[in-house]
Amino acid sequence: MDDNRMKLLILFSMSVFLLMLEAKTADPYKVLGVERNASQREIQKAFHKLSLQYHPDKNKNKGAQEKFAEINNAYEILSDEEKKKNYDMYGDEKGNPGFGAGHPGDQGGYTYFTSGGPGGNQFSFRPGEWQSTGGEGASKSFSFSFGGAGGPSSFGFGMDDLFSNFFGGNGDSMFGGFGSRTGSRAGSRTGSQSGSRSSSKSIRAINSCDFKKEIAVQGMTWLLFSFTPSLKGNHYVESTVEEVASLLQGALKVGSINCETELSLCKDLGILPRRMPRVFVYSYKASDKGSLVEYAGDLAVKDLKTFCQDHLPRFSKRVDLKSFEFSGVTLEKLPTVILLSTKKDTPVIWRVLSGLYRKRIIFYDVEVRDVSDPMVRKLGVDALPAVVGWLSNGEKNILKAGISVKDLKSAVHDLSILLDGFEKQNKKVASSQPRKAETDFGDNHIPVLSGSNFDALCGETTPVCIIGAFRSSRAREKVESILNKVSQKSLSRQPTSALGSRDSISYTLLDATKQPAFLNAFDKSGFKSSDKLLVAYKSRKGKFAAFEGELTIEEVEGFISSVLNGDIQFKKTWQKPVLK
């Protein structure tokens, strides 16, 4: 090789390594301002604080976007156990020792490059200097050696490999593939800095099967975010979600949905990401079926936490202990529990449990002053907070008094064990109770509506007819039991300003499976989504009002009282209801 060729190779090699020096990843510890022994929690907090400060949507200053990308890149390294380990050992998150590799015992990160053979070329690179010596018989093979005891010693490759590996060329041309490889490297770094990592190991990736089996209508609140790997801000959103999830651990679960790999799920849910990842809560605030509610506020931990707490289940009914009718709870086939505490609002723990057990146990809660309250003493409770339960046969149990809470997660776990045991106890009691015959209610039994008795029960001479519709034997038992009890109460026996007659209301049952056309007259859907419901029907006016909520003594009494007082808005029927 002539001297000019050799000099050109030397100069070009130098430019390669200088470019590598410039491309060296900034020290992630310095970028985030944390010590090398910082915990993941400290790293996460530092990242979140800086992300909030330099987020492009909030910081319009020059250089803020680059700083934000640098912060994301640093967090990507330090939040990943393998990448962090590699960086700590080699100064490179991929585990490739190179310039500035900080390994204990090395020579300040010096890296040496030599070409083999006596009289061969030698390149020694140290901070601030470089030199080359040449001679005849120079070899085209280079080897890399790294100082430091215990570190990697050397590895070698040919000159062709040098250009091929660094620039994507085939080695035939000295500058082959330079532009394309540089672009690829820049794109790779940009993608990394913008948050291409799919999701943290602490956040579970959700697919369509997971959503159907573990999220939809299961009673647990989920904090979810949707993204695609190419979106900016993935790490920023992910960090905020992780921190909120850790603060509300036990109250909710957290997951991520990659809309690149789970496109059909994202389309079905209507959660395709836009310019940034989107955050949702699977909420039971508005419906017992659950629904996705998007978070549209500032992505600050405090604000998102408040939003999540506001969307926790609310299936526990808050009552006044003085007016709470303990005898009424025995009508339900399900066990009933009530929480006594000094809290002004339903505690988070109780709301979480009311969602998990919403179809298995009936929940109430009440605020009390202290254990000296006469009603508290009447229940036999000597310490607060306390949980009192009633089995379906009316038997009272003090499930727990003087509840101590270490943290939310352990409290939910411990009380879940308590409720599971109480539910099993109720099943044993229910199985030992003899079933009542359909007409075993004496003079107060609720008749089943039919073509032969319709005029007598719900004809035009009856101002209001309360119809309890059911689609299963279990639903019938519950509706019949509640209406039988309510029909004996004074609210339906006294004259009202709206109706003015002692016999102003009648109670009947309707088998919706045998009389579907009857309900279709009220609503074209025939209320097919409801296993049980109440319909208040005014035959003379051809109007009705329906109640499809959870049927409890209190709710049914409230509905009927509103009907009697004229507080319910009635609607016209589609057609006159007819029975077979």
- For position 337, what pLDDT does the model report? 94
CA angle, 226 then 291 then 245, to 5° = 55
| CA 95 – CA 428 distance, rounded (Å) | 61
For residue 218, how many other CB atoms are within 10 A of its CB?
16
Q: Exposed e or buried b for every residue in 390-428, given b needs 16+ CB within 10 A?
A: bbbeeeeeebbbebeeeebeebbeebeebbeebbeebee
H or E segment and range at residue 305: helix 301-310
| CA 34 – CA 61 distance, rounded (Å) | 24
Contact between 233 and 276 under an 8 Å Cβ cutoff? The reply is: yes
CATH number, span 204-310: 3.40.30.10
Task: Residue 74: name the closest of 63, 83, 82, 65 by CA.
Answer: 83
- Domain 3-191, CATH class in plain words: mainly alpha
Tens digit of each residue's pLDDT, the chain (580 residues): 566 666 666 665 565 455 444 445 588 898 889 898 888 888 888 888 888 788 777 788 888 888 888 888 888 888 888 888 888 877 776 655 544 444 433 333 333 343 344 444 444 444 443 433 343 444 333 333 333 333 443 333 343 333 333 333 333 333 333 333 333 333 333 333 333 344 445 689 999 999 999 999 889 999 999 999 888 778 888 889 999 999 999 999 999 999 999 999 999 999 988 888 999 999 998 777 889 999 999 888 999 999 999 999 989 988 887 766 554 444 457 899 999 999 999 999 999 999 999 889 999 999 998 999 888 888 889 999 999 998 887 788 999 999 988 888 899 999 999 999 999 999 988 777 554 433 333 345 788 888 777 887 888 878 899 999 998 988 899 999 999 888 877 554 333 333 333 346 888 999 988 888 888 888 878 788 888 899 999 988 899 999 988 888 888 988 888 888 888 889 998 888 888 7
Pairing outcome for strands 336-341 and 386-390: antiparallel
CA distances from 570 to 456, 495, 573 (A): 22, 20, 9
- For position 310, what pLDDT does the model report? 94
| CA 384 – CA 574 distance, rounded (Å) | 53
| CA 505 – CA 464 distance, rounded (Å) | 5
The pair of three-digit structure tokens given for residue 211, joined into one six-digit string? 């959503």
- For position 7, what pLDDT does the model report? 65
| Domain pair 3-191 / 442-572, same fold | no
- For position 201, what pLDDT does the model report? 53
Residue labelled with tokens 């939040």:
79
Contact between 388 and 341 under an 8 Å Cβ cutoff? The reply is: no
pTM for this one? 0.49
Contact between 244 and 202 under an 8 Å Cβ cutoff? The reply is: no
- Give me the CATH topology for the region 317-432: Glutaredoxin (3.40.30)
Amino acid making up residue 504 = S
Pairing outcome for strands 362-367 and 336-341: parallel
Contact between 491 and 557 under an 8 Å Cβ cutoff? The reply is: yes
Contact between 125 and 112 under an 8 Å Cβ cutoff? The reply is: yes
- For position 227, what pLDDT does the model report? 93
CATH number, span 442-572: 3.40.30.10
Rg (CA), the chain: 36
364: three-class secondary structure by DSSP: strand
Contact between 459 and 539 under an 8 Å Cβ cutoff? The reply is: yes
Widest pairwise Cα distance in the chain: 121
Amino acid making up residue 123 = F
The pair of three-digit structure tokens given for residue 43, joined into one six-digit string? 């790293």
Q: Residues for the chain: how many in total?
A: 580
Quick one: how far is CA 518 from the chain centroid?
Answer: 41
Q: Residue ranges per domain, the chain?
A: 3-191, 204-310, 317-432, 442-572
